[in-house]
A and B are shown apart, each in its own frame.
Chain A
């Protein structure tokens, strides 16, 4: 706080000397810090969505004759709509938006675009879509952890780097089971911890 200055800043030029000016600038920058918006909602929303989709595909492959078990991933479409609606509502209630918020938003939007493109070109990468997405998930998760100074998310990123690599070596149905486990560890566990810390 700017205790050495006028506490209410109502006075004008008369008392401000260069040292006070620098103190004021430093204290205001300090005030604006640490305003990264709450993001646990997204980790929990996407965590549960992807875990359910992966487990769903695994169960359909293992125990049924369904022709296209991958249809389970269609649940990501309504969830994307939910995420957009939630994001718009959040934007309306936030009184400040920091540069970090902007970077955070575009980092994940870019990741979303990457996911869509990977699904689109799936045929050309031998349908290794799941390992690719889990591997790509590592970077935005890790960076979000760095931005929020939240170690569990950084560890979540590490889980995705390891799991994403391991997935390439597994059979298709096993990939879905391990991906569900990785998402639980990399998204849901840090997501719940983050939600607790946001309260």
Chain B
């Protein structure tokens, strides 16, 4: 298989970083993801929207007092895509 066959949605540093973090936890807030990936709020927000549009994650927007709170969670579809991506990577490396 060729590198171009890897899921383009996951084959990007920030989106893959976010998905790997969400794989390991039950749910995570925007601030946690921002801190762990060391990204800017603007870029992270755009990438989260892309993952959400693809159905890989769910984004819940609530309020903590007066502050807006964005909580992200990986979906079953996202989990499957992530597993397929890792399997594809393994195949590629094993060639």
The CA of A10 and the CA of B29, in the complex, are separated in Å by: 19
Asked if A19 and B93 make an inter-chain contact with CB atoms under 8 angstroms apart, the answer reads yes
Residue A65 CB within 8 A of the other chain: no
Interface size class of A (residues with CB under 8 A): 20 to 34
The answer to whether B26 and A99 touch across the interface, beta carbons within 8 angstroms, is: yes
Are A101 and B26 closer than 8 Å at their CB atoms? Answer: yes
User: How far is it, in angstroms, between the C-alpha of A16 and the C-alpha of B86 when the chains are bound?
Assistant: 14
C-alpha spacing A11/B11, complex, angstroms: 12
Q: Select from chain A the residue with minimum beta-carbon distance to B85.
A: A21
B81 contacts A by Cβ under 8 Å: no
Q: Residue A22 at the B interface, CB < 8 A?
A: yes
Is the pair B24, A33 in contact by a Cβ cutoff of 8 Å? yes
Give the distance to chain A from B65, nearest Cβ to Cβ, in Å: 9
Given contacts A18-B93, A21-B89, A32-B21, contact A12 B14 (CB under 8 A): yes
Interface size range on B against A:
20 to 34
User: CB-CB < 8 A to A6: which residues of B?
Assistant: 13
Residues of B within 8 A of A7 (CB): 38
Given contacts A22-B89, A95-B32, contact A9 B25 (CB under 8 A): no
Please name the residue on chain B nearest to A20 by beta carbon.
Answer: B13
Query: What are the nearest 10 A-B pairs in CB distance?
Result: A28-B20, A32-B24, A95-B32, A95-B29, A97-B26, A9-B14, A9-B13, A25-B20, A96-B28, A96-B32
Q: A residues bordering B, Cβ < 8 Å? A: 2, 5-13, 15-19, 21-22, 24-25, 28-29, 31-33, 35, 92, 95-99, 101-102
Given contacts A9-B17, A29-B20, 10 further A-B contacts (CB under 8 A): A6-B13, A7-B38, A9-B14, A10-B14, A10-B43, A12-B13, A16-B16, A21-B6, A22-B93, A28-B36
Q: List 26 A-B contacts (CB under 8 A).
A: A5-B13, A6-B13, A8-B38, A9-B14, A9-B38, A10-B14, A12-B14, A15-B13, A16-B12, A16-B13, A16-B16, A18-B89, A18-B92, A21-B6, A21-B11, A28-B20, A28-B36, A28-B37, A31-B21, A31-B36, A32-B21, A32-B24, A95-B31, A95-B32, A96-B29, A97-B25
